[in-house]
Structure 1
């Protein structure tokens, strides 16, 4: 099979021929028909994730068809349309038994702990726990987009922050996760304001339901941005999301909250230059909640998938471009600085 391969941290990326993987006991092999290019994949290329061993095949947002079923797998057959969370729980631990596979201590992640979906085929372990059936009316790009961006945003806003109708939602960063949060916020009846450094991304956010957009110019500090957000949200957001993963964006998100507000950290904050400084004085004085959101277990997908099938959430509308594996190898190292207003989907069959 053809696969995108990263030779070393921050190193060359190319397309190579690799053996098609075999289905492990309890798992399946999926023929990849769509896979998303995400900022987390750039972090893997840059060497920020300690779980990655090089050479490495990235990719963790995927959808496709079951190509092979391993021993001990029931309920799934070759040809089934499927997607999966980017976290594959072990299926044995107490967390998995409680339906919280996204924090499984023995989790595996395609594109991080083992070869991922920037390839024609990928393995999904513990299929009974981690596979999600894709309805016929949901496209492969839409299903792939759920695996990280939409699932993480949905669980962060609903299960973690408890976003309510009529509340103000501040989203810092209008990339894939940020735009997903905007679309989900609209579906939940929230009022959303978005911050980004690129006007194209802000235009996309406004088109998909944001009420206000704030351009983060280089001269604006996190405090400056927060002051503007407080003006637009009548005293601060009830819920704020850092969808970038940077010390400044996390600070802006926290400072944008009103008293007793809820901050959701979705963007990765790898300690590249030491652990980030957070305005904890504000957290304490205003009794803010700091919440992490690490994807969503397959058991929690039906509610989100129902919103997609009903057209209330339309991830396909965020797909800005579809590229093949060769172009993905070129784009990946520069993805952190890309000026995009939507999601990039890779079609390995191209």
Structure 2
């Protein structure tokens, strides 16, 4: 099979012919129809997150936003049959550890993400999925593989951050800081759930896209301090009091502070964005403000497997349309250039591999 392989930190991506993965008795082999190029892949390719004790292999086949078709299953797989169309959550879970038993498959103690399995990520024609009965999510008949790839990481991450961790309610005011792939998903999800959304970014084109997804107002933060940006956000709220919920989709020190300063008293910050080389896991935040305004900060990582049902139902009904975020369909040979575009935030929405011959 053909695959795009990482061979080292920031090394050129190689496209090569490699063996089709062999599957075990609890695995499934998935033929990939669409596979996203996610900023998490970019972080791994950059060698990020070692400051958190996370040591991901930078060699092998990355890719964890998957839409595909079951090709074959192991002898102990009970729920899946060849020909079923599936997505594969970024967090591959064991189903047996204490976190999985609490419904937190997104924080499995023993599992791996697809990009943790050298040779078996989604930037290839085929992918091995371990513990397949748990880790393959069967798609509704009217949800295609391109949409499934859009769901696999960024969109489902935004879903949990806004719906569960951020606990958004209809009529609330929400500021989404950073309108890349996960931020734009947060805009659409918050608007779908009845919130009034203010989108914040430094790129007018991304802000215009946020409006098409349901944002009622936008703030261009280019060249502005977090205090100035948050002041502009608050001026868009009744009495300049601020928003109920802010979502930081980037993980930069200035974006987390923009979110915090944009909140009203008792407001909530849902932190999705992870840091890069500049912050190395740490950002200065205003502790006195957090105490005096009784602000709450909650982290959000991925989406548990059980929580896909409600998300897929809204997608199937047409109330959420993740495929609207797909800006480009590319081939395997384009992966390297897309990663370099991410260096300067030049990508818009989701870039998805759909041509595995190119």
2:273 alignment counterpart: 267
Partner Cα separation in structure 1 for residue 300 and residue 35 of structure 2: 21
Partner Cα separation in structure 2 for residue 324 and residue 315 of structure 1: 20
- Out of 118, 126, 134, the residue aligned to residue 121 of structure 1 is 126
Partner Cα separation in structure 2 for residue 48 and residue 29 of structure 1: 29
Contact persistence 1:130–1:297 (CA under 8 A)? no
How far 1:279 moved relative to its partner? 2.2
Q: Does 1:95 align with 2:68?
A: no
Partner Cα separation in structure 2 for residue 52 and residue 34 of structure 1: 23
Give the secondary structure class of the aligned counterpart of 2:60.
coil
- Out of 329, 337, 344, the residue aligned to residue 351 of structure 2 is 344
Give the secondary structure class of the aligned counterpart of 1:252.
helix
2:307 alignment counterpart: 300
Partner Cα separation in structure 1 for residue 75 and residue 341 of structure 2: 40
User: Relative to structure 1, is the Cα distance of residues 333 and 112 closer, same or farther in structure 2, using a 3 angstrom cutoff?
Assistant: farther
1:204 alignment counterpart: 209
Partner Cα separation in structure 1 for residue 163 and residue 72 of structure 2: 35
- Out of 67, 73, 79, the residue aligned to residue 77 of structure 2 is 73
1:335 alignment counterpart: 342
- Out of 241, 244, 248, the residue aligned to residue 250 of structure 2 is 244
Give the secondary structure class of the aligned counterpart of 2:91.
coil
Q: Does 1:324 align with 2:331?
A: yes
User: Relative to structure 1, is the Cα distance of residues 241 and 56 closer, same or farther in structure 2, using a 3 angstrom cutoff?
Assistant: same
How far 1:327 moved relative to its partner? 1.0
1:15 alignment counterpart: 15
How far 1:271 moved relative to its partner? 6.1
1:85 alignment counterpart: 89
Indicate the RMSD between aligned Cα atoms, in angstroms.
1.5
Larger displacement relative to structure 2 (309-318 or 108-117): 108-117
2:318 alignment counterpart: 311
Larger displacement relative to structure 2 (300-309 or 32-41): 32-41
Aligned residues: 349
Q: TM-score normalised to the size of structure 1?
A: 0.96
Q: TM-score normalised to the size of structure 2?
A: 0.93
How far 1:270 moved relative to its partner? 4.4
Partner Cα separation in structure 2 for residue 54 and residue 263 of structure 1: 31
Give the secondary structure class of the aligned counterpart of 1:105.
coil
Q: Map 1:20-35; keep pairs closer than 5 Å.
A: 20-35=20-35
User: Relative to structure 1, is the Cα distance of residues 316 and 63 closer, same or farther in structure 2, using a 3 angstrom cutoff?
Assistant: same
1:153 alignment counterpart: 158
- Out of 173, 178, 183, the residue aligned to residue 173 of structure 1 is 178
Give the secondary structure class of the aligned counterpart of 1:111.
helix
How far 1:117 moved relative to its partner? 0.7
Gap regions ≥5 residues in structure 2:
none
Partner Cα separation in structure 1 for residue 273 and residue 58 of structure 2: 23
1:46 alignment counterpart: 46
Partner Cα separation in structure 2 for residue 245 and residue 139 of structure 1: 31
Give the secondary structure class of the aligned counterpart of 1:295.
coil
How far 1:42 moved relative to its partner? 0.8
